[in-house]
């Protein structure tokens, strides 16, 4: 399978705990995006990387959220001191270039439930 891979698929945690998600993009893709999606809503942009550089973060991204992409390969998204409002599907997407026909390929997401 050469698609975008996300791990874990599901995560249940208690309020106040830290969680970390991993995304493995399609191997030749240099861009990697993180989105968050809640029920009945479209994906909401969180942040993106070009190679290992984090180039943009959403103003909605609180200081409790941090993302890394060491060596421009896989990426991790960490949420510290989780809150119930963090419950959502966290989607990772990757793409090959910044051309006008850039196409995002999504993984299946990590469903986070904060109790």
Partner 1 sequence: QKEVEQDPGPLSVPEGAIVSLNCTYSNSAFQYFMWYRQYSRKGPELLMYTYSSGNKEDGRFTAQVDKSSKYISSFIRDSQPSDSATYLCAMRDNYGQNFVFGPGTRLSVLP
State which residue, 10 or 64, has the beta carbon closest to partner 1.
Answer: 10
Asked whether position 55 contacts partner 1 by CB under 8 A, the answer is yes
State which residue, 19 or 93, has the beta carbon closest to partner 1.
Answer: 93
Give SS3 for 6: strand
Asked whether position 21 contacts partner 1 by CB under 8 A, the answer is no
Contact of 90 with 36, CB cutoff 8 Å: yes
State which residue, 66 or 111, has the beta carbon closest to partner 1.
Answer: 111
Asked whether position 34 contacts partner 1 by CB under 8 A, the answer is no
Asked whether position 40 contacts partner 1 by CB under 8 A, the answer is yes
Asked whether position 66 contacts partner 1 by CB under 8 A, the answer is no
Asked whether position 41 contacts partner 1 by CB under 8 A, the answer is yes
State which residue, 80 or 105, has the beta carbon closest to partner 1.
Answer: 105
Helix (H) or strand (E) holding 87: none
Helices (H) and strands (E) in the chain, counts: 0, 11
CA distance 45 to 14: 25
The residues, ordered by sequence, that sit 6+ positions from 93 with a Cβ below 8 Å of its Cβ are 4, 32, 33, 35, 104, 105, 106, 107
Asked whether position 107 contacts partner 1 by CB under 8 A, the answer is yes
Asked whether position 108 contacts partner 1 by CB under 8 A, the answer is yes
């Amino acid at each position: 399978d050469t698609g975008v891979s996300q791990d874990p698929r599901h995560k249940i945690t208690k309020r106040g705990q830290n969680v970390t998600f991993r995304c493995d993009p399609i191997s030749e893709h240099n861009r990697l995006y993180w989105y968050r999606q809640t029920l009945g809503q479209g994906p909401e942009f969180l942040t993106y990387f070009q190679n290992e550089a984090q180039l943009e973060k959403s103003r909605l991204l609180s200081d409790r959220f941090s993302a890394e992409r060491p060596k421009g390969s896989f990426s991790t998204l960490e949420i510290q001191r989780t809150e119930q409002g963090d419950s959502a599907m966290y989607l990772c997407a990757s793409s090959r270039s910044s051309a006008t026909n850039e196409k995002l390929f999504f993984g299946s997401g990590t469903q986070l439930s904060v109790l």
